[in-house]
Amino acid sequence: MNALLIEDNRVIATQITEFLTAHEWQVDYADNAELGLNLATHNTFDVVLLDLNLPDMDGLKVCKTIKQHAPITPAVLMITARDCFTDKAAGFEHGADDYLTKPFDLRELVLRCKALAKRSTLHQSNTLQLEAVILNCTSQTVTIDDQPCVVTSKGFEILTLLIKSYPEGVTRSLILHTLWGDFPPESDPLKSHIYTLRKALTTFHNAPQIKTVMNVGYKLELPSNAQST
């Protein structure tokens, strides 16, 4: 499981990070809203742990921005000393999925994170569709015009990201993080996976094309859009 912790108190952040890591969570950390938003909108996380009292932006606004712009919407657990009902209500109104007041038991934090990650997975659809292309996320199979399209497991992950982000592009960093986490290979295998996926798609008339976005990453272009430009 991947978590993003946005917390300006270094002592609390260290305690949370070490405890989650001990429970086999991979944790990225930001001590301010700007860095937190950059991480949240360019990477994928199962859960975001968000402090409301940040030095550069109110956590409510951070939560709303993450929900609007994250490539794959994560669950947000607000962790804060604001414990009155109006604060909690404001948190949920701005998109929070859960709310935990300080001080809290780290064991409870882990349980809530697990529950949020599981809930998020259950709510995700088993299929993704972009016009003629249908992805079955359970079997990791692709069909185009009701015909099977054979792709590799990495190709399936790449195509999933591209479809979820359509019509916007996906950065290389997000693809690399999704495929290999924080430890991508020293070589550059992404080009090879993109080439193989492109080759698989080009055998179908109604399949989208994978376009390179210079200095950014990749995006999908539908055949109808390509013909009109």
Residue-wise pLDDT tens digits, 25-41: 999 999 999 999 989 98
Q: Is 210 helix (H, G, I), strand (E, B) or coil?
A: strand
Question: What is the average per-residue pLDDT within 192-197?
Answer: 95
**Inter-CA distances, 197 with 158, 191, 205, 223, Å:** 8, 10, 15, 16
Confidence of residue 228 (pLDDT cuts 50, 70, 90): very low
**Residue type for 143, please?**
T
pLDDT at res. 225: 67
The Cα–Cα gap between 219 and 166 comes to 7
Confidence of residue 229 (pLDDT cuts 50, 70, 90): very low
| The CATH number of the domain covering residues in 2-123 | 3.40.50.2300
**pTM given for the model:** 0.60
**Residue 201 DSSP code:** H
Question: What is the average per-residue pLDDT within 51-72?
Answer: 89
Confidence of residue 70 (pLDDT cuts 50, 70, 90): confident
Mean pLDDT of the chain: 89
The Cα–Cα gap between 51 and 102 comes to 10
Beta bridge partners of 219: 211
**Residue 208 DSSP code:** P
| High-pLDDT (> 70) share of the chain, % | 95
Around 116, how many Cα atoms within 13 Å sit in the side-chain half-sphere? 25
| High-pLDDT (> 90) share of the chain, % | 61
* Contact yes or no for 103/74 (Cβ under 8 A): no
The Cα–Cα gap between 123 and 162 comes to 20
Please, where are the H alpha helices in 43-189? Answer: 59-69, 85-93, 106-123, 153-165, 172-180
Region of poorest pLDDT, from 7-11, 19-23, 116-120, 193-197: 116-120
CATH 3.40.50.2300 in the chain: give the residue spans: 2-123
If phi > 0 it is left, if psi is from -120 to 50 it is alpha, else beta; for residue 94 that is: alpha
Q: Residue 124: is its pLDDT beyond 60?
A: no
CATH 1.10.10.10 in the chain: give the residue spans: 127-228
Class at the top of the CATH hierarchy for domain 127-228: mainly alpha
Q: Residue 136: is its pLDDT beyond 90?
A: no
The Cα–Cα gap between 226 and 79 comes to 47
